[in-house]
A and B are shown apart, each in its own frame.
Chain A
Amino acid sequence: MFGLNRKDATLLAIVAALIVFAPFILNPFPAESGWAQFNAGYPDLMQRFVIFGIFAIGFNILFGLTGYLSFGHAAFLGVGSYAAVWMFKLLSMNVIPAIILAVITAGLFALVIGYVSLRRSGIYFSILTLAFAQMSFALAYSVLTPITGGETGLQLALDDPRILDAAAAGGNIPVPSLFGMEMRDSVDLTFGAWVFTFNFGYYFCGLVMLIAFYLSIRIFRSPFGMMLRAVKSNQQRLNYTGLNPRPYTLAAFVISGMYAGLAGGLMASMDPLAGAERMFWTASGEVVLMTILGGVGTLIGPVLGAGMIKYMENIISKINSDILHTWFAFLPDGLEDVVVGLIYPFIGKGWHLTLGIVFMLVVIFLPGGLVQGGQKIAAVFRRRSANAGGAEAEAAKQNPAE
C-alpha cells in the first residue's frame, strides 16, 4: 500500500486510527467525574499533540538518521509561525497559503543555517545551531520588532490588508479557515455521561501529521535514508568510499527544518499569533527531550514522546496538593500526609522534575526510548509464551528499534 511494506503499512494504519479516534481515546472519563481532569481530549491539547508530533518527526529525520544533534530547531518553528501569521495579515485567512509559505520560509532559513553549521560536526554542530537559534531569538525580540512584533508577539489586526478576503465584517478579527471552514469549529457529541469534542482544526492537523508521518516512513526506507544512516554509523568510511556526505546531511537538515516550519505554520493556524519565545533554546531542548524519550531513530517514537511530554505539561501539572489529599484520603491521617508530601514535589508545578528524572533514566538505561522499552517487554512476554528459548528475543536484539 502506497509503496510501503506490510509492517509499515500497519504502523501507518495504526497512527491513522489513533488520530481519528483520539477524541474518544483521550477522553476515557465521564465529564462530571473527579477523574475528568485527566481527560486530554480537548481540542487545544489534541492539536498540540499532533503539531509537536510533526515537529518531533522532523527532528528525528535529522538526529535519528544522521546523528547530528541540533540544539536550535525551535528557530525554524518560530520562523514558520511568523511566516504564517504574515500570510494571514497580508493575503488571506485561508490556512493553505500560510502553511505553504511557512514551510518554504523555514526551509530557506534551514538551508542557510545548515550550510554554515554542517561544516562542523559533533558538539561544535550543536553549539553552532544553538548560537544561530539564540541569535534569531534575540533579533526577533529586539531589532526585528517591525516584522516580529517584539515582546508582544505578532498578532492580527483589523486594518490588515488581507487582499484576497473581503473586509472584516462587524469589526471582528477573522479567524483562520480552510475554504470557509473555521479551524475552531467543534462538534460536541454527548454519550451518556461522556462528552467528546470533534474539532475541525484538530482533524486538519491530524491529516497533515499523517501525511508527514507517511513521508518520514518513505524517507526512512529510501536509499537516501540509508545514506543518512551511513553518515551516522561512520562518516569517515563514507568519505573514503568517495562519497561526499555534505549534500545528504544538508538535505536532511533542510527537510527537518521544513517539518519544523510546518509545525510552526499549523500552530499559527490554530491560534493566529506568533511570539519570539517559541524560538528560545529551551523550546529546542524540548523537542530533543520528546525525540529521545519516545525513541530516537524509530518511526513512531517521536510522536509518542511528543504526546507524553505535552500530556505531562498540561495534565500532570494541574494536580495540586488538595487533589492528592482527596486521593489518599483512605489512608490514616499521618500516613496520608507523608505520602502526599513524598509525591507532591513530582507533580503539579514540579512536573519538570519528573520529566528530568524520566529523561535521565531513559538516556541511561534505554537509549532507544519508550519504543525500545516496549520492545523489551514484548520480547519477555513472547519468550514466556512461546517457550522457544528466546529465539525471537534474539531476533529483536538484532533488529534494533525501527
Chain B
Amino acid sequence: MDAIILQILNGLDKGSAYALIALGLTLIFGTLGVVNFAHGALFMIGAFCAVTLSRLLSLSHQVAVPGEVDFLGNPKMREVPYAYDIFGENLGATIIDWAVPLSILFAIPVMIGIGVIMERGLIKHFYKRPHADQILVTFGLAIVLQEIIKFYYGANPIPTPAPSAFVGSFDFGALIGFDPGTIIYPYWRLVYFAFAVVIIGAVFAFLQFTTFGMVVRAGMADRETVGLLGINIDKRFTIMFGLAAAVAGLAGVMYTPINSPNYHMGMDFLVLSFVVVVVGGMGSLPGAVLAGFLLGILESFASMREVIAIVPGINQVVIYLVAIIILLTRPRGLMGRKGVMED
C-alpha cells in the first residue's frame, strides 16, 4: 500500500509538468488550430527566466572589509550582491533565496510577450497552410530558440536551487498513519504539484467564468459565427496564445529546482507532451490535464522494481505503448470531441 502511494506521489510532479505543457498545447490547438512544435522551447525559456532572474539578483560588487588587510597591505575585498544594498542584508538574502518563486512574476510578462510576438510574427501566416507545414516551421523555430539559449547560457545544465525553506523531504507516511520512513517525499515536488493545480484551476476558471473566456470558448466551437457577431476573435486568440506560452513558461520556472535546466529540456518534454495531448484527445482541455497526470503516474508505476522484473524495459516505453493503443482503439483519445482533427 505504501509503495503504491509513493509511486502515485512520484508520478505527480512529472505528471504536473506534462499536464501544464499539454494544457498550453491544447489551448493553442483548440483556439488557433495550430500544431505548435515550439511549445517545448517555451517551457525551456520559462526555466531560463528563472536562471536569468537568479543570476540578476546575485549580481554583486566588491566592497572593502573595514579593518582587515591581506599580506600585501591592500584592504580585503568581499563580494556583496546589489540586492543587499537595495533591500538591506536580511531582506536581500531572502530575495536571493526565493529567486525561483519570484521568477514567476518576472516570467509572466516575458512569456506573454514572446507568445504574442510569435503568434503575430510567424504563426499567423500559417493558419491556412497544411498541418505538416505548421509542424515544420515551429520545429525550425524550436531549433532556433534552443540554439539562442545555448549561445548565451552554454550547453551545461545550470543548477538553480529551491528556496531553503523547501529544501529536503518530509515524511508523508507518518502524516497519514504509516510507519515513519516509508513514504518520503521532497517538499518542492509537493509545491510543484500544488502550483500546477492552481495554474490549471486558474486557466479553467478564466475560461469558464469570465466574459473573455466565454468568447474564447465560443470561438473554439465556431470561429466564423463569433466573427460575424462583430467580435474580434483573432485578437482574443492571440492573447490566448500568449496565455498558453505563459502556462508553459511557468511550468518551466517551477521545474528548475527539480531538474537543472539545459537547452534541450524543452525538446525532451515536447515529444512526451504531444503524446499526452493525443492520448487526452486533441482539443480537449480536461483530457490533456487528465492524460498528463495519468501518464506521469503510469510512468512512475512502470519504473517500480517489481514491475520491471516482470516486463523488463517497460518503464522506458509505457507511455508510447499506451499512446499507440489509445490511438488505434480510441482514435479521439480519452476525452476528445467529435469533429476535432479527425483526419
Binding site for B on A (CB under 8 A): 67, 69, 116, 119-124, 126-128, 130-132, 134-135, 138-139, 141-144, 281-282, 285, 288, 292, 345, 350, 352-353, 355-357, 359-360, 363-364, 367
Contact = CB atoms under 8 A, between A and B. Distances in A.
6 contacts: A122-B131, A135-B317, A142-B312, A142-B313, A353-B148, A364-B125
A357 B131 contact: no
Contact of B140 (A144, A345, A356): A356
A123 B35 contact: yes
A360 B144 contact: yes
Contact of B151 (A124, A127, A353): A353
Interface residues of B, dominant DSSP = helix
A192 B274 CA distance: 57
B320 A135 contact: yes
A138 B223 CA distance: 41
B310 interface: no
Given A282-B267, A345-B151, A138 B331 contact: no
Contact of A130 (B271, B317, B321, B343): B271
Interface stretch (B108-116, B226-234, B322-330): B322-330
B146 to A, nearest CB: 8
B181 to A, nearest CB: 30
B137 A364 contact: yes
Contacts of B147: 350, 352-353, 356
B137 A363 contact: yes
B144 A356 contact: yes
A340 B282 CA distance: 46
B278 A124 contact: yes
A67 B140 CA distance: 19
A116 B324 contact: yes
Nearest to A355: B143
A124 to B, nearest CB: 6
A315 to B, nearest CB: 18
A120 B331 contact: yes
Interface of B: 35, 122, 125, 130-133, 135-137, 139-144, 146-148, 150-151, 267, 271, 274-275, 278, 282, 312-313, 316-317, 320-321, 323-324, 327-328, 331, 341, 343
A239 B217 CA distance: 34
Contact of B136 (A120, A292, A355): A292
A116 B320 CA distance: 13
A357 B146 CA distance: 12
B132 A67 contact: yes
Contacts of A123: 35, 131, 135, 282, 341
B140 A143 contact: no
Nearest to B316: A138
Contact of B323 (A131, A353, A357, A363): A131
Residue of B125, B321, B343 with most chain A CB atoms under a 10 A cut-off: B343
Contacts of A364: 122, 125, 137
A184 B171 CA distance: 62
B327 A124 contact: yes
A359 B140 contact: yes
B278 A127 contact: yes
Given A120-B327, A127-B278, A353-B151, A132 B139 contact: no
A367 B132 CA distance: 11
B140 A132 contact: no
Contacts of B321: 135
Contacts of B313: 138-139, 142-144
Contacts of A350: 147, 150-151
A121 B343 contact: yes
A240 to B, nearest CB: 15
A69 B125 contact: no
A51 B84 CA distance: 59
A143 B310 CA distance: 12
Contacts of B151: 345, 350, 353
Contacts of B328: 116, 119-120
B316 A281 contact: no
Given A128-B327, A353-B147, A356-B141, A141 B136 contact: no
B135 A357 contact: no
B8 to A, nearest CB: 23
Nearest to B137: A363
B316 A131 contact: no
Nearest to A357: B144
A131 B275 contact: yes
A142 B141 CA distance: 32
Contacts of B137: 360, 363-364
A363 B140 contact: yes
